[in-house]
Amino acid sequence: MNKFSKILSISILLSSGLFAASSDENIISFEQKRITQNPNVKIKDIKISTKKELPLNGWFGYILDVQANVQGKDINAKDILFSDGKYISLELIDSETGKSLKDLVTPNLTDNYHDKSKLIAGNANAKEKIVIFSDPLCPFCKDYVPDVIKFVNKNSNNIALYYYHFPLMALHPAAAPLSKLVEVAKHKGVKDIELKVYETDWEKYFDVKSVDEKKILEAFNKEFNTSIKLEEISTKEINLLLEKDISMGEEVLVSGTPTIFINGVKDSSRLKYETLGKK
């Protein structure tokens, strides 16, 4: 979770569930008042980028683009609110499934997410396209991502799989240098490096909360018989690549891992990929 997301979460805790509302302008006004409860935040601009009708009589989901200054640093973020024109809610939960309706508001992916440089399995020309945002040290990701890769490899003519780094640095600081190492190794021609990284037991080398890049580098080189140098994961190019992946995830409201999109649409079940490539 980035710094501004934490501020939004703190603001949520300071707010109650439903609020009176009468127009889209009130949505913006409410968001501004809610966020600025934190004295460290100064709002520069708030716009409604998406308004989507929900399968709930009279209710809409709103995606807001928020530009703010947090302790001297300019930050762009997104937030979701719900309203029926009379009330504003920070969350709507389906009482039968227990799932948040935020998934119904999540924006679909544009074609630029199907970037050939992010293709790790399958055929770029395939009709069926999977995009995954993942953290190589996330326990669930370590079980899930290899299964998806292997499934696509078995149906490689019919599916394209694109991988984006989304290290959860607040939980697994070691995931950031590990993600950079994946990119360096990939550029050096190491095949199937994403699958290999996910199938490696890194805990025998370092703790997921480690910030010792040298130790993480030594473990990577030992495991894959590579000779990557520390300065290679500190270049401007590699840092920008990782930042871009994270930014593209945040643009479509990715906040946890793994997050998977099937043909541009978020799949909260994470199981729909198993239906692809079948005639």
Domain ranges within the chain, ordered by starting residue: 3-104, 111-275
Average pLDDT over the chain, rounded to whole? 91
Least Cα distance to 133 among 159, 168, 164 occurs for 164
> What is the β-pairing status of strands 259-262 and 265-266?
antiparallel
Span 36-57, average pLDDT: 92
Q: Given this model, what pLDDT does residue 279 score?
A: 58
Taking only the tens place, the pLDDT of each residue in 161-178 is 999 999 999 999 999 999
Q: Given this model, what pLDDT does residue 176 score?
A: 98
At 175, the amino acid letter reads A
Q: Given this model, what pLDDT does residue 208 score?
A: 97
Confidence of residue 11 (pLDDT cuts 50, 70, 90): very low
At 52, the amino acid letter reads K
Span 32-43, average pLDDT: 91
pLDDT at 14 over 50: no
Least Cα distance to 88 among 33, 45, 169, 130 occurs for 33
Confidence of residue 19 (pLDDT cuts 50, 70, 90): low
Taking only the tens place, the pLDDT of each residue in 194-245 is 999 999 999 999 999 999 999 999 999 999 999 999 999 999 999 999 999 9
CA atoms of 40 and 103, how far apart (whole Å): 30
> What is the β-pairing status of strands 128-134 and 159-165?
parallel
Q: Which CATH number fits domain 111-275: 3.40.50.2000, 3.30.70.20, 3.40.30.10, 2.40.50.140?
A: 3.40.30.10
Confidence of residue 98 (pLDDT cuts 50, 70, 90): confident
Least Cα distance to 159 among 267, 252, 246, 279 occurs for 279
pLDDT at 6 over 50: no
Helix (H, G, I), strand (E, B) or coil at 109: coil
Looking at the chain, the whole-number percentage of residues with pLDDT higher than 70 is: 92
Taking only the tens place, the pLDDT of each residue in 103-147 is 889 989 999 999 999 999 999 999 999 999 999 999 999 999 999
For 46-55, give one letter per residue: b (16+ CB within 10 A) or e. Answer: bebeeeeeee
Token reading at 248: 């593209």
Query: Can you say whether residue 192 is alpha, beta or left, with left for phi > 0 and alpha for psi between -120 and 50 degrees?
Result: left
Residue indicated by tokens 């924006």: 107
Span 93-101, average pLDDT: 89
Q: Given this model, what pLDDT does residue 3 score?
A: 42
Instruction: Give Cβ neighbours of residue 95 (< 8 Å, ≥ 6 apart).
Output: none
pLDDT at 57 over 50: yes
Looking at the chain, the whole-number percentage of residues with pLDDT higher than 90 is: 80
Confidence of residue 23 (pLDDT cuts 50, 70, 90): confident
